[in-house]
Amino acid sequence: MADKKMRVKQVRSSISCPADQGKTLRALGLGKIGRAVEVTDNDCTRGMVFKVKHLVEVVED
């Protein structure tokens, strides 16, 4: 059984954001504008994406 995935792309900088939001981006595997990663779609990663929703865009597969 394959896990559901979602693609997360960073579209804004984390420079003016609180430090915990920058650390959340790093934990997702992001850190530079334009970088995209594919993460498992579960409650944990959805919470992380919700925390930085103003910095990323999500494409669900």
3, pLDDT greater than 70: yes
Mean pLDDT of 20-40: 95
Q: By the 8 A CB rule, do 31 and 11 touch?
A: no
The predicted model scores a pTM of 0.88
33, pLDDT greater than 80: yes
Architecture of the domain defined by 5-60: 2-Layer Sandwich (3.30)
- Rg (Cα) of the chain, in Å, rounded? 11
Boundaries of every domain in the chain: 5-60
More confident residue, 36 or 60: 36
Residue-by-residue DSSP string for 8-48 = EEE-S--TTS-HHHHHHHHHHT--STT-EEEEE-SHHHHHH
Mean pLDDT of 22-50: 95
Q: What amino acid is encoded at 39 in this protein?
A: V
Sign of the CA dihedral with 23 first, then 27, 28, and 33 last: positive
1, pLDDT greater than 60: no
